[in-house]
Structure 1
Amino acid sequence: MAVAEAVGAAAVTAPVVFGVHGVPKFDVDWRGLAILVAFSAVNGVLACTRLRWLGGEKQEFEDAVPLANPDSALPTPGESLRRSFDMGFAVFLVLFGLIVGLVWAPIMALWSLLFLPDRLIKGAYGGYWERRHGVLLWRGCVPEQPLGKGQYLYSSVRQPD
């Protein structure tokens, strides 16, 4: 879903910005681009650590609590960490790409693609953590178990009978 957020944002912003300004000439500073991609990848790797002040989610995964009633949450789309699509983040990517692409530099219509390394690394680590522990991670608010928005919960991989 992380790829869908970034590619979807670029698919919305690029036609609008390029339609207004024309397709920009791609004189790419490869060193600068490599630095941005490396920064995004390092940010993704740091998210796989226990260092919360650096955005680490590993400790949050390990602090997850069991989901009390899996029947109430398993069929709900968008709650599983694996299937999470952050609409707010996607809207942010689109709006920022449109505004900066139209006002400053048309190439910024594709800026959302810079989030791919970060989001892919985080998603791969989340899937690895789930497989290693044999559980499904859930993020969000379950009405029957109010722990706060964004609280991690876990449940069995198996659907209840």
Structure 2
Amino acid sequence: MSEFHYYVNGEKHRLYLSAILDLYDRRIVAYTIGDSNNTELVYNMFDFAVKNNPKAHPIFHSDRGYQYTNRTFHSKLVAAGMTQSMSRIARCIDNGPMEGFWGIIKRERYYGKKFNSRKELVDMIENYINYYNNSRLQRKLGVLTPFEKHEEFLKVA
């Protein structure tokens, strides 16, 4: 999960983005945006991902945030047929790719800008995720977009 800020009449507000990144094709599979850094935001994102990918049973990599370490989330993982993977405290190996995405979106669309409404910030995030998945070429994927890499996989599978 990553935090973003926007301003209304000079007052700073927070917005949180929770997302799942597929390690194979680097696609953002699911995301939710909310005003609170809470378990509901993560659960909604996870439920959306499972609903739209019912046959997927991946390893779920995350950090050790309370949203991912509680019994309810563990039950959701088990019910979805997934295994959870978390690195030790102060080691970001499992969550490194997601942290990389947070850096990319912030570097390319957030840092150096001031968002003057929640809508403006939400629109930027949603437009960027669409761009990232469908238009942003990635060298690690053989100069394909994440969606093109995903489509290539589906042809072989």
Larger CA Rg, structure 1 vs 2: 1
Kindly indicate which of the two structures has a greater share of residues assigned to helix.
1
TM bucket (normalised to shorter chain) is under 0.3
Higher relative contact order (CA 8 A, sep 6+): 1
Kindly indicate which of the two structures has a greater share of residues assigned to strand.
2
TM-score normalised per structure 1: 0.26
TM-score normalised per structure 2: 0.26
